Structure 1
Amino acid sequence: MTMKRGWWLQAVLLSLGLLGAAAQAGQALVPEQSAITFVGKQMGVPAEGKFQAFTADAALDPAAIDKSRVRVVIDMNSVTLPAADLTTEVKRKRWFDTENFPQATFESKQFRKLDNGAYQVDGTLMLKGVSRDISAPLTLKTEGSDLLAEGQFEIKRLDFNVGDGQWADTDTVANEVQIKFKLRLKP
């Protein structure tokens, strides 16, 4: 009997280990159904931008949220704004400086479930060579076998040296920038 119980215990521990590994297994980003956008204001008028190329290394599991992780890498040269001249301008040294900082990254440190059924991710955003800790509320929704992670958060552009010199005046260009994300992940 002891031997049978020992095997059973080993089988349970092994299956728990495999379940834990499943929560850490990678998910593939579906780029055409994912988006990272931002909205800033110039002279009080909102201007929305978009990043057309980014990758995500993710293992998100609502059932094991504390073991979840994500790392997003954004190609800063893929930025687009409503007008071509704005797109060219935002890539320049005073703004994103895409020549010297071609990527921005977000790396999670912790995921948490909130009381209202939503989640929060805490992590580090590196933009233009500056790292800052951020927190973002998000929703996780299963659609078939896919997982949809959506959320938004606000950053202060001057914290990342975005828009320096004459553009540091927040009366002309607001300091607050809203970032929105939608990541569709396949198992």
Structure 2
Amino acid sequence: MAAAGPAVVNVKDWIHCNHCYTEPPKDRRNTQFIITSCGHLFCGKCYGEREKFCLVCKASCSVVDLSKQVPPDVMIYFHTPESIIQRFIFQFERVSKFQREQRTRLVKHKIQKLREVAERKEREILLYEKENARLRQIKLSLESRSVSVRPLSSNSTTLRPPPSILRTGCGPIQTPPSFTRPRPSMTLPPSRGFLHH
């Protein structure tokens, strides 16, 4: 919805020449008024085309003819203050709504991204917990096996030779009988002469 244009103030209330105090006639015919860049009003009789300085403050200035097309930045001085306030309130609401919508849009996007990151991290945590539980189970299994093997190693004794081989006291140690087979005898029968048969 477009805002209505600012209402123009009743120029009869205050417009006058700041030099001769002439007011514009009711019919406004053949009447020229100008406004200077320093903020003063003059009639066409007092302020000629050759004037380069304000007749009130003596400052160098530019002028705008109010009987012709007036720029918006100059026309605003002839609007009622109430209409200007309403216009700025309307602009304020439009600007505020635009910025609020853009801000909300960005915040929603960031929240969605954070939610996606949180969900991904939760899935990773579940995977880590499952892996941790599996490793703990493996550790417990290895520890139980270690406990079952330890008593055998702690109760084992040093192997000793049987009593028949090892004697106590100062006697010599008997050695087991030799398993070496006797070598065959090499004795030859008595020789006979070549003449004996």
Q: TM-score range by the shorter chain?
A: under 0.3
Looking at secondary structure, tell me which structure has more helix per residue: 2
Looking at secondary structure, tell me which structure has more strand per residue: 1
> Which fold has the larger relative contact order, with Cα–Cα distance below 8 Å and residues 6 or more apart in sequence?
1
- So what's the TM-score if we normalise by structure 1? 0.19
- So what's the TM-score if we normalise by structure 2? 0.18
